[in-house]
C-alpha cells in the first residue's frame, strides 16, 4: 500500500458524513458487518476471500471501527484503487449526485443526495406554507434547484431554526423587506450563529456558501436543524410516557442515557412486540420490505378509545404485495392517512436510506407516540428532571464544535472523557492519544477504562491547561457529579472564548478586566453609559449589550422597539431576546441565552461581552 497521504479539514468533514452514512445504527462505530456490506456494495474487482482479508485486517484489534480508525483506513486507502471504489460505495448507500466543479483547496469533488433534497423541500414547503414572510420563496419545486437559491437570503433558515427550537431568533431582527447584499449578509450571520447556538456544527460553513447555494453544505446544515427539531421531545423529561419502554431489570437511569435514535428504535420494537412481530435493529436494512412499518402504523393509529380523537383504520392488504417497491408505496399511502408520509419516497424505504427513514420514524413518533404513562410502577418521578439552561448551553457549545460522538445527555455522554479531550484540543492543550482508552470498551472492566480516561482529563486540566480544579477527581467526571463537571466545562468554554480574543490581539493575555475596559472604552466613545462589572444591575435590562452593539455597528439597534425604564420581567426578557439575536446578527457567535442577561449571570454575561469584543476587534 502506498504511503498514507494527509487529509484536509474539508475532506475530514466529508469523512464525518461518510462515517454517518455507513454507521446505519448510529452508535458511533462501524461494525464488521457494516464494513463488509460497504466493500460488497463497492463492486470491487476483488474475489470474496480478498474482501474478507481486507475487512479482517481492518478489524484485527476490534470488531468495530471508531471514526478515528476509519479516518486512518481511508488515509491508507486514499492513494490506491480501493480508495476510489470505497468512496463510490459510500455514495451508493444514498442516491448521490456529483456536483460539477471541485473545491479549489483540495480538488475534492463534492456530492449531495437527491433524495435528501426532495425530502427537505417537501418538509419546508409544508412547515412554512402559511408564513407570510416566505411567500416570495414557497412552494419550492422538489425536482429543481429551488432549495439552494431559496436559502440564499437567510429567511427560510431563520424560520426553520425557530421551528426546531422556538424563540431562538427574535423575529424583529430578521431583515424581511427590500433586501440588499448587506441585509442578506446580516440574515445569514443571524442564521449561522443561531444554528451554532442550538448545537449545529457550522465550523466549515460560511455565509458565502449559503448565498451561493453550495448543495452539500446547505443540505448538511438543514439536516442538522431539522433533526434537532424532530428529536426535541424524544426525551424522558419532555415525554414521561417513554417510561413504558423500560425493560425488566433496567433502572430509570439506564433509560435516561439512551440517545434519541436508540429511544426511537426501542419505541418501534415496543409496538412491534405488541403486534407479535419480530424486532428490528436499525432503520435501514431491517425496514426495506416495509413490513415492520406496516405493523408499526397499525399499532400507533388511533383506535377511537380516546376522547375527541376519531379512529383511523390502517388498510393492511398491501403488506401482501409481492414487490418491495409496490409494498412501500401501499405502506406510505397508509402513513398518509395519519398525516405522516413525510421524508421518504418508496425508493428511500426500499434502499434503506438511514437518514430519511430515521426522520420518517421520528415524525411518526411525534404525532402518534401511542404510549401510556405507567400508573402503578414504583418510579421516582422527581429524578426525571430536564437539563438546566446552563447545561443546555454547554451541550450546544460542545456540539457546535463538532465533537464526536454528539452529546445528547451532558453527564452520561462525557463519562469516558473522550469529548473532554477533543475540547482540550480546541483550546490548544495537547492530548497524548496513546494514553487514552478508546471504545468499544470491554464488557468487563469498561468503567475502569473510562475512569482512567477521566483521571487523565483532570490531570491535563491541572498540569497543562492550568485550570483551577481543586477537589475535582476523575471519579467526579465519571460519575457525573454535576457541580464539579460544570466547573471543568465552564473553564473550557471560558478558555475557548478568551483564546479567540488573544488570537485577535496578537497573543496578548486577556482577563475579565481586559474585556470590561474594552467594553467601557467603546461605550464611552459612542457617548453611552458604562458598566462597573459583569454583575452590573443595568445588564438585566440588556441596555449595555444593546448600546455596545450599536457602538460597534452604528444605527443597527432600533431603540423604538425597546422599553428602557420601569421594565416588567416580560419586558426585560423581550429586550434580552432582541439583544442576543442582534449580537448574532452583527456576527458574534453568542451561546448565552436571554435569561442569562435578565438574571445577570456573570459567567454567561462575560461570554456575551467577549464575543462582542471579538466582533468589534475584527471590525476595527
pLDDT digits (tens, 9 = 90+) for 123-163: 999 999 999 999 999 999 999 999 999 999 999 999 999 99
Instruction: Extract the C-alpha cell encoding 573.
Output: 426578557
Which pLDDT does position 505 carry in this prediction?
A: 83
What phi and psi values does residue 227 have, to the nearest 5 degrees? -65, -40
CA distance 285 to 86: 20
Helices (H), 427-540: 446-463, 474-479, 482-504, 512-525
- Helix, strand, or coil (residue 495): helix
- Encode pLDDT of 495-527 as tens digits: 999 999 998 887 788 999 999 999 999 999 999
What is the Cα–Cα distance from 202 to 204, expressed in whole angstroms?
Answer: 6
For 230, the grid coordinates are: 424532530
d(CA 312, CA 339): 11
Can the peptide bond before residue 440 be classed as cis, meaning omega within 30 degrees of 0? yes
CA distance 257 to 81: 42
Contact 363, 340 (CB under 8 A): yes
Q: What pLDDT sits at residue 8?
A: 61
CB–CB of 456/436 below 8 Å? Answer: yes
User: Coil, strand or helix: which one is 208?
Assistant: helix
Cα–Cα nearest to 343, from 334, 332, 327, 351:
332
Instruction: With H, G, I as helix, E, B as strand and everything else as coil, classify residue 101.
Output: strand
For 128, residues 6+ apart whose C-beta sits below 8 A from its C-beta are 134, 138, 156, 159, 160, 163
Instruction: Kindly state the cell numbers that stand for 478.
Output: 465519571
Predicted confidence at residue 550, as pLDDT, reads: 97
Question: How many C-beta neighbours within 10 Å does residue 198 have?
Answer: 22
**What cell does 518 get?**
474594552
Least Cα distance to 599 among 571, 574, 569, 578 occurs for 569
Q: Give pLDDT < 70 ranges for the chain.
A: 1-28, 32-63, 70, 72-111, 376-383, 620
In angstroms, rounded to a whole number, what is the distance separating the alpha carbons of residues 371 and 271? 9
Return d(Cα 472, Cα 475) in angstroms, integer: 8
Handedness of CA 498, 499, 500, 502 (dihedral sign): positive
Residue from 258, 441, 419, 287 nearest 356 by CA: 287
pLDDT in the model for residue 108? 45
**Nearby residues of 524 by Cβ (< 8 Å), 6 or more positions away:** 530
pTM of the model: 0.84
Amino acid at each position: 500500500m502506498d504511503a498514507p497521504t494527509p487529509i484536509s479539514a474539508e475532506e475530514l468533514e466529508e469523512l464525518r458524513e461518510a462515517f454517518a452514512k455507513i454507521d446505519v445504527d448510529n452508535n458511533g462505530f462501524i461494525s464488521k458487518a457494516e464494513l463488509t456490506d460497504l466493500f460488497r456494495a463497492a463492486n470491487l474487482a476483488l474475489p470474496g476471500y480478498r474482501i474478507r482479508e481486507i475487512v479482517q485486517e481492518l478489524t484485527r484489534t476490534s470488531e468495530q471501527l471508531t471514526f478515528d480508525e476509519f479516518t486512518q483506513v481511508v488515509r491508507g486507502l486514499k492513494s490506491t484503487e480501493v480508495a476510489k471504489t470505497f468512496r463510490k460505495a459510500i455514495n451508493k448507500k444514498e442516491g448521490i449526485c456529483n456536483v460539477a466543479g471541485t473545491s479549489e483547496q483540495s480538488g475534492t469533488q463534492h456530492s449531495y443526495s437527491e433524495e435528501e433534497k426532495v425530502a427537505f423541500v417537501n418538509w419546508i414547503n409544508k412547515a412554512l406554507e402559511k408564513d407570510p414572510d416566505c411567500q416570495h420563496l414557497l412552494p419550492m419545486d422538489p425536482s429543481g434547484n429551488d432549495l439552494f437559491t431559496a436559502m440564499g437570503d437567510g429567511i427560510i433558515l431563520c424560520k426553520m431554526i425557530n421551528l426546531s427550537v422556538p424563540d431562538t431568533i427574535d423575529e424583529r431582527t430578521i431583515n424581511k423587506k427590500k433586501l440588499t447584499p448587506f441585509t442578506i449578509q446580516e440574515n445569514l450571520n443571524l442564521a449561522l450563529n443561531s444554528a451554532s447556538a442550538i448545537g449545529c456544527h457550522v465550523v466549515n460553513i460560511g455565509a458565502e456558501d449559503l448565498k451561493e447555494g453550495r448543495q452539500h453544505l446547505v443540505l448538511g446544515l438543514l439536516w442538522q436543524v431539522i433533526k434537532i427539531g424532530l428529536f426535541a421531545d424524544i426525551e424522558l423529561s419532555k415525554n414521561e410516557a417513554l417510561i413504558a419502554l423500560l425493560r425488566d431489570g433496567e433502572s430509570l437511569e439506564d433509560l435516561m442515557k439512551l440517545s434519541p435514535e436508540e429511544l426511537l428504535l426501542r419505541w418501534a420494537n415496543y409496538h412491534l412486540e405488541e403486534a407479535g412481530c419480530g424486532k428490528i435493529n436499525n432503520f435501514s436494512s431491517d425496514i426495506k420490505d416495509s413490513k415492520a412499518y406496516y405493523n408499526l402504523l397499525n399499532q400507533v393509529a388511533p383506535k377511537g378509545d380516546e376522547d375527541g380523537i376519531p379512529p383511523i383504520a390502517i388498510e393492511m392488504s398491501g403488506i401482501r404485495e409481492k414487490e418491495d417497491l409496490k409494498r412501500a408505496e401501499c405502506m406510505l399511502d397508509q402513513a398518509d392517512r395519519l398525516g405522516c408520509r413525510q421524508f421518504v419516497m418508496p425508493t428511500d424505504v426500499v434502499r434503506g436510506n438511514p437518514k430519511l427513514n430515521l426522520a420518517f420514524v421520528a415524525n411518526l413518533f411525534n404525532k402518534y407516540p401511542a404510549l401510556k404513562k405507567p400508573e402503578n410502577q414504583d418510579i421516582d418521578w422527581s429524578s426525571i428532571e430536564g437539563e438546566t439552561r446552563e447545561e443546555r448551553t454547554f451541550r450546544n457549545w460542545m456540539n457546535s464544535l463538532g465533537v464526536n460522538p454528539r452529546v445528547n445527555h451532558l453527564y452520561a455522554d462525557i463519562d469516558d472523557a473522550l469529548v473532554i479531550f477533543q475540547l482540550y484540543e480546541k483550546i490548544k492543550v495537547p492530548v497524548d492519544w496513546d494514553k487514552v482508552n478508546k471504545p468499544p470498551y470491554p464488557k468487563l472492566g469498561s468503567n475502569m477504562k473510562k475512569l482512567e480516561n477521566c483521571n487523565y482529563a483532570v490531570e491535563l486540566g491541572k498540569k497543562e491547561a492550568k485550570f483551577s480544579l481543586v477537589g475535582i477527581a476523575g471519579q467526579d467526571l465519571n460519575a457525573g457529579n454535576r457541580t464539579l463537571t460544570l466547573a471543568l466545562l465552564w473553564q473550557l468554554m471560558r478558555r475557548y472564548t478568551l483564546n479567540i480574543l488573544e488570537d485577535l490581539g496578537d497573543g496578548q493575555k486577556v482577563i475579565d478586566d481586559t474585556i470590561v475596559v474594552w467594553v467601557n472604552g467603546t461605550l464611552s466613545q459612542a457617548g453611552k453609559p458604562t458598566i462597573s462589572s459583569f454583575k452590573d444591575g443595568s445588564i438585566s435590562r440588556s441596555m449595555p449589550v444593546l448600546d455596545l452593539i450599536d457602538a460597534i455597528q452604528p444605527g443597527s439597534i432600533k431603540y423604538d422597539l425597546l422599553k428602557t425604564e420601569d421594565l416588567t420581567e416580560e419586558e426585560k426578557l423581550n429586550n434580552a431576546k432582541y439583544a442576543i439575536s442582534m449580537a448574532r446578527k452583527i456576527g458574534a457567535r453568542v451561546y448565552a441565552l436571554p435569561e442569562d442577561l435578565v438574571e445577570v449571570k456573570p459567567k454567561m454575561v462575560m461570554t456575551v461581552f467577549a464575543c462582542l469584543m471579538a466582533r468589534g476587534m475584527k471590525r476595527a
